[in-house]
Structures are given as structure tokens and as C-alpha cells.
Amino acid sequence: MTTKPGEVWLADLGIAGKVRPVVIVSREDSNPPRQLVLYVPLTTQDRGTAYEVAIGKLRFLDQVCVANVQGLGSLPISRLERRLGVLPAELLEEVRTALRQAMVL
């Protein structure tokens, strides 16, 4: 299975994280050295911080949500359950900007 940046997947984040939508932020790689993806979780808990990007309620999401870039993580591709849709390009760019602001690069 391959993933692309900006895709939104339903992912099993483990017992504490439960199953939730995530945005793939790792670069597209047809031959990755490990079967891992980098993701930003989506949540309905908007705290209004600079680490959150308002996603709204896209047609493939049940509720209004935000992307929480402080929750950046990686997981095996096998834990991605199903592809829900793709973020509009402008929202993906906002997520990337928030990631750059949250990290020392």
C-alpha cells in the first residue's frame, strides 16, 4: 500500500489513541526503507492554539475538526484501516506551515 501527503486515513493509534482520522504528512516514496508513515492526528477538541489547523467538516469527516501538529507521530502502514479522502491543497499547506512553526528546523 502506498500513501500520499494530504490523504486522510482512519488509523488504529493503539489503546490510548483509539481509531481516529489522521493526515499523512510523510513524503511520497515508492520504495520506503521502512513501512512507516508520518501523520498528524485530527481531533474535535479545538483549543485554539498555533499548533492546530482548522480543518472544518469535510464531506468525508463526521464532525468539525482540527489537525493537531503537536501529535505528530509515525505508525506502520498496516495500522491504516481505510482511506477517507484528501485534504484540499491549501489546508495541507497550512498543516505544513504549522509543523514548521512547531519544530526547530
Domain of residue 35: give its range: 7-102
- Work out the number of other CB atoms within 10 angstroms of the CB of residue 75: 19
* DSSP assignment of the chain: ----TTEEEEEE-HHHH-EEEEEE-SPP-SS-SSSEEEEEEEES-----TTEEEEE--TT-SS-EEEEGGG-EEEEGGGEEEEEEE--HHHHHHHHHHHHHHS--
Kindly state whether residue 1 falls inside one of the protein's structural domains: no
Grid cell 491543497 in the structure block, residue: 89
CATH number for position 85: 2.30.30.110
Q: Which tens digits make up the pLDDT trace of 53-96?
A: 999 999 999 999 999 999 999 999 999 999 999 999 999 999 99
Kindly state whether residue 84 falls inside one of the protein's structural domains: yes
**pLDDT value at position 16?**
72
**pLDDT value at position 105?**
67
Nearest-angstrom CA–CA distance, 71 and 82: 20
Kindly state whether residue 2 falls inside one of the protein's structural domains: no
Phi-psi region of 56 (alpha: psi -120 to 50; beta: other; left: phi over 0): left
User: Among 57, 47, 50, which residue's Cα sits nearest to residue 8?
Assistant: 57
Q: Which tens digits make up the pLDDT trace of 15-45?
A: 776 899 999 999 988 777 788 999 999 999 9
**pLDDT value at position 3?**
92
What total of structural domains would you count in the chain? Answer: 1
